[in-house]
A = this chain, B = another copy of it.
Amino acid sequence: MLLTEAARLAEIDLDIPCGGQGRCGRCAVIVADGEGVRCRSTVRLSAEDLTAGYVLACQTVVEGDAVVIIPPQEKIERRLVTDKTAGEIALPFTYDPQQHQPMRLMSLTIDPPTMHDQTDDWSRLKRSMATTFDVLDLVADLDTLRSLASTLRQADWTVTAVVETDTWDRPEGPPRLVDLLPGGQMQHLWGVAVDIGTTTVSVYLVDLLTGEVVAKAAEYNGQIRRGEDVISRIIYASKNDGLAELESLVVATINEVIQRAARRAKVDPGEIYKMTVAGNSTMIHLLLGLAADSIRLDPFVTTINHPPPVRASQLDIAIHPQASVDCLPGVASYVGADISAGVLGSQMCDSEATSLFLDVGTNGETVLGDCDWMISCACSAGPAFEGAGVRDGMRATVGAIEEVWINSQTYEPTYRVIPDLRLEARGQPTPPRGICGSGLISLLAETFITGLIDKAGNLNFDAGSPRIRQGEHGPEYVVAWEGETEHGRDIVFSKVDIDNLIRAKAAIYAGFTVLALSVGTDLSTVDQVLIGGSFGQHINIEKAIQIGLLPDMPWEKFRFMGNTALQGALLALLNRGVRRQVAEVARRMTYLELSSDNTFFDAFTAALFLPHTDLTSFPSVAEVLASREDEP
């Protein structure tokens, strides 16, 4: 008897979304005393899992007595990272604000002026800062000086100075008074780290006194409605007032996301005194109001790779107007600050192992190298992996189908939806609203592996499933019927979506190929694959390999880095040494221009199949396909 059957008899509800074929790994249980059991397949389990005693219930036959532990479901499901909660962020250093942080709070009481000491307010404050804190040559912007007189008097000469001691472009200072607060206000000092993705803008709200991330938030980049990838944005920006419009759209998104994070943490956004920004070069240019045309046109150069820090007020960012906004440096037009921040966040630049770093965003930016050398490239993947530009695509938030399994007999899907926590608390399921990027990869892999689509992505009407139909916009597979969904409409996966996804994955895979070729090697020399990007952490590696998005390697070689760009921005926000290192990484990295090279086009064309024209480079997928053909 299969363990799944035994569980059913014991009225224990085990999830078997793949229909008991050992493909989804969702029925993993621990055999504590394993005398009476026999495993048929452990393909979904890692070596670590096996050591820990995990087996797949659907692949395990009970032949005698056995003690089986069913772990809590959340230990099996990967931890959901929505924009709701601030998870633990592990810093690769022990945060010491005095050593790492240029932002400081300094509380002081100043001798008021008298008829015998008519020193002006500013000199008086500077004198006090020098004697109390040894801060010399303090400077301030005009706007800060404008409120000086009233703050000093209203606070009866006891104030807290918010000081930025240095910036990356002026490491020697002078220290700048960013704000002067009445009274003693030493409790918090807020900063934000921002990642401007082409599709998604994400922020961390951070207390710079402790290094703690107190809130997160994310939202689609408001520029999407003016073009889904960087090229269409650049073209839009080059016409009429397009640049100003795109600038204000992304600023509006940033402000909204910051406000949401701030509201959750009960922080006034006006008290945020520092912001670091990661983003690709186009996103950074559009944020700063810099023309991006040259990024698109041969020979593809940016206006600036290392932008100077600017004031929040210059960009209409709704934090403290005098806050520094520090855009991290990029390498080239298509390898921007998101990648240099990501390389740093992933620490590949400190390792002797050969790493392939991949940021699966709208642009597929890839870096190959180690602590001695790094070569990078970028290819336009489009926004499909972020759930945009897809019929029922959505961002990975409440109501998104984030994983799908298809029963290879019935072609009926089972899916997991990012839950509404209130419904979940009441034991109610969350109805789906759409499909996010990881759900799309899942769908593409499952429809392919189950034979619902062929290697070119054509839907198999011969399968006889009522879910395969001719839709309004072409062939489609119905993932959820209208009765199951939140909005009462069918959620479908269409041929158009499939083609988009295949082009996206082909572009990214072609990038790997060309990078490896350019240094005279192939992907077999890669010791680890680091997957960054806010979306990357949601990828199911098995399924990503099955569609040919990731190279076919042992799963142990893959490491999910999360949103490395955002992490890089966070590290730079918290540590001036890291900020300098980002600049160093950006300077060191070689950039390979794919468009000047036919190799890329050839590699792209070869990758326009599932998983690839050359099936021999995907042995694990070949094996699964072969086993499918063996089925009755």
Contact = CB atoms under 8 A, between A and B. Distances in A.
Given A115-B593, A118-B591, A145 B298 contact: no
Contacts of A591: 118
B142 A303 contact: no
A291 B118 contact: no
Given A145-B288, A146-B291, A304 B121 contact: yes
A305 interface: yes
B122 A304 contact: yes
A623 interface: no
- Among A148, A169, A288, A302, the most chain B Cβ lie within 10 Å of the Cβ of A302
Interface in A332-346: 332-333
A299 interface: yes
Nearest to A591: B118
A300 interface: yes
A216 to B, nearest CB: 28
A149 B333 CA distance: 13
A121 B290 CA distance: 12
- Among A120, A142, A153, A314, the most chain B Cβ lie within 10 Å of the Cβ of A120
A123 interface: yes
Interface string A169-184: 1000000000000000
Nearest to A301: B113
A304 B125 CA distance: 10
Contacts of A304: 120-123, 145, 148
Contacts of A119: 301
A584 B308 CA distance: 32
Nearest to A315: B142
Contacts of A97: none
Interface string A242-276: 00000000000000000000000000000000000
Contacts of A114: 299
- Among A123, A290, A303, the most chain B Cβ lie within 10 Å of the Cβ of A303
Contacts of A332: 118
Interface in A279-325: 288-291, 293-294, 298-308, 310, 314
A271 to B, nearest CB: 22
Contacts of A307: 142, 145
Contacts of A123: 304-306
A299 B140 contact: no
A81 interface: no
Interface in A102-142: 113-115, 117-124, 139-140, 142
A113 B299 contact: yes
B118 A303 contact: no
Contacts of A122: 303-306
A596 interface: yes
Nearest to A311: B142
A232 interface: no
A465 interface: no
B303 A149 contact: yes
A142 B308 contact: yes
Contact of A301 (B118, B150, B333): B118
A303 B153 CA distance: 11
B115 A298 contact: yes
A362 to B, nearest CB: 21
B115 A314 contact: no
B301 A121 contact: yes
Interface in A569-610: 591, 593, 596
B115 A596 contact: yes
A62 B342 CA distance: 102
Given A153-B294, A596-B115, A301 B145 contact: no
Interface string A466-502: 0000000000000000000000000000000000000
Given A115-B596, A288-B145, A120 B301 contact: yes
Contacts of A291: 146, 149-150
Nearest to A118: B301
A352 B145 CA distance: 38
Shortest 4 CB-CB distances between A and B: which pairs? A122-B304, A120-B302, A120-B305, A113-B301
19 contacts: A113-B299, A115-B299, A115-B300, A115-B593, A118-B332, A118-B593, A120-B302, A120-B304, A121-B301, A122-B303, A122-B304, A122-B306, A123-B304, A140-B308, A142-B289, A145-B303, A146-B288, A146-B290, A150-B291
Given A120-B303, A142-B308, A149-B294, 7 more contacts: A115-B298, A118-B591, A120-B301, A120-B305, A121-B302, A146-B290, A148-B304
